[in-house]
Structure 1
């Protein structure tokens, strides 16, 4: 059927359906009106905001996306001795960075901001009882909300793994979206000079083992070969983000500083796919329609954070490609609209 035919049917349904509801409303004046949802999902954002500044673009992009109901924003830890922050307080520092962004955007106090644990799991059996992990459990176990819950992680998996170990029943009450994991060798090759253990996996290998090897949490994975596709140039950021707001100028300067030091022009905003596959779903048969993925068995994660075949692994969604046009054009537009607010 042509799109025009579909639209005609939809318009007719809206028109005549509205007339029918009006007539029923006249006959049943006490019938409660159906409330239209104001969001398509609940969201818990978890990222290592003291690290790679790509997370700042993801945070601002999500904050500017009205279709998601942000319940908590969690600042999580980095690897020990990370080049971006070598202190032992990286989760606490991440929280400070979140609060600074919210202040610049006039959103102080609008969202609960929590620091995760400053360390990773000591083993795949023992949770860290942080306030962030407890918040995930609390939100997941609510019975008064119909909106689906998504936990989006752009760094390590310490908090969601701890939450699962604390309360395994959360597994069938949320979807985890994770930026991380190495390539699947039947799909892509590693990048030149690659690290044997993928960056976000290395933050907390024990936590990744919990999610892949122990849990049955519904998982959408955006592995290294896919998040590396999210390339944007310094010229684009200076033209389409920096001039329109203080926060846009701030986060662009963070990227530009790194690019200038490295004599490069393009940067991977590898956390923005978290926005693409949550806030920017299709309206009919909701899905990340323009970003191809496959359903495959979850691998077993070994002690080095590498994949091994797991013939009993549950089925997970693994993205093979991302729609950069949709993702970045939406981000640029929302950043530019800040000027009129």
Structure 2
């Protein structure tokens, strides 16, 4: 196993071939995993062209500026039938971010969009250098444990894991909210964001970063909508809403088909964890270990993370529709 873990009286010493041994103070970590109060600074890491839920999540974050002060947007790599490889996926995501900002008429944010990794981590010790990883390292160093930078990640975790490997000092200055992996009860852990870069996932689950995990199947999969619901609440409200309906309907026709369909808008839930409202329920769990064979390993001696186990679907969609249609 890549990570050797030694229990300590007041915490946990995590040793990785890519990171120096680090004492994890569980009491301090639990404090840092509390929901933030007041307005906070946020960056988002997104494979925006991959599906249609990233567009909703990015728009929702920008429309929640009374609580979330967006500082930067990072384009994440992805590889599926919409890209020829992770580099192409990242570049297409960069273009989609710019398109969403245009629809939102937020030209002021375009200078804070950064290209991310062109490949996934080659190992658990080697970062992938990119504009996004370098910006996160530089930006995070101006924050503190008491006033951290919140990182919302809704794609492969390559950019964030790379930043941690480049400068582990940012672990004391960020809080990471990641939509990745499936629920612990799901029969396998072959989830798109995670299996693209298992090395990156193993880093963030083992390094002691304050981590909030939103599992996909079995938890966030409940956050689904339908064509008639989107048409009723969003059609004709603005250019962005019409675009979101059109791309969601087109993707549903391609992948779901049939007379009746529903579509999970997964990534919105990662943004929602940071907001004030009755949107989600979470609990403290010992950090699992994502293995390379699409399963989790568990060890109750490991440090804590926050695990979201339920989405209050109706409350969250009500807030999302209200904000997008403004």
Please report the TM-score for the alignment, with normalisation by the length of structure 2: 0.82
1:217-262 deviation per Cα after TM superposition (whole angstroms, max 9, x unaligned)? 0000011221101111111111111210111111110110122332
Aligned residue for 2:155? 155
1:252-267 equivalent positions in 2, closer than 5 A: 252-261=245-254, 262-263=257-258, 264-267=260-263
Q: CA 1:210–1:143 in structure 2 vs 1: closer, same or farther (change >3 Å)?
A: closer
Are 2:326 and 1:329 equivalent residues in the alignment? no
Aligned residue for 1:220? 212
Aligned residue for 2:199? 206
Aligned residue for 1:48? 47
Aligned residue for 2:13? none
SS in 1 for 2:305: strand
Q: Give the distance between the partners of 1:305 and 1:141, measured in 2 at CA.
A: 34
Q: Give the distance between the partners of 2:129 and 2:282, measured in 1 at CA.
A: 34
Q: Give the distance between the partners of 2:143 and 2:177, measured in 1 at CA.
A: 22
**Normalized per residue, which structure has more strand?**
2
Aligned residue for 1:269? 265
Q: CA 1:270–1:245 in structure 2 vs 1: closer, same or farther (change >3 Å)?
A: same
Q: Give the distance between the partners of 2:189 and 2:129, measured in 1 at CA.
A: 30
Quick check: 2:282–2:309 contact (8 Å CA) kept in 1? yes
Q: Give the distance between the partners of 1:161 and 1:145, measured in 2 at CA.
A: 19
- Equivalenced residues, count: 283
- The structural deviation recorded for 1:330 is 0.9
- The structural deviation recorded for 1:301 is 2.0
Quick check: 1:205–1:305 contact (8 Å CA) kept in 2? no
Structure with the greater relative contact order (CA < 8 A, sep ≥ 6): 1 or 2? 2
Is there any run of 5+ residues in structure 1 with no aligned partner, and where?
A: 1-37, 283-288
Quick check: 1:50–1:85 contact (8 Å CA) kept in 2? no
Quick check: 2:145–2:173 contact (8 Å CA) kept in 1? no
Aligned residue for 2:15? none
1:1-341 equivalent positions in 2, closer than 5 A: 40-66=39-65, 67-79=67-79, 82-87=80-85, 88-111=87-110, 112-143=112-143, 147-185=147-185, 189-190=186-187, 197-213=190-206, 215-224=207-216, 225-261=218-254, 262-263=257-258, 264-278=260-274, 280-282=275-277, 290-337=279-326
Please report the TM-score for the alignment, with normalisation by the length of structure 1: 0.78
- The structural deviation recorded for 1:209 is 1.1
Pick the structure with greater CA Rg: 1
Q: Give the distance between the partners of 1:143 and 1:75, measured in 2 at CA.
A: 22
Quick check: 1:275–1:327 contact (8 Å CA) kept in 2? no
Q: Give the distance between the partners of 2:191 and 2:168, measured in 1 at CA.
A: 26
Q: Give the distance between the partners of 1:304 and 1:89, measured in 2 at CA.
A: 26
Q: Give the distance between the partners of 2:175 and 2:228, measured in 1 at CA.
A: 36
Aligned residue for 2:29? none
1:8-35 deviation per Cα after TM superposition (whole angstroms, max 9, x unaligned)? xxxxxxxxxxxxxxxxxxxxxxxxxxxx
1:65-123 deviation per Cα after TM superposition (whole angstroms, max 9, x unaligned)? 121111111110113xx023234411111111000111121112325001111210000
- The structural deviation recorded for 1:304 is 2.5
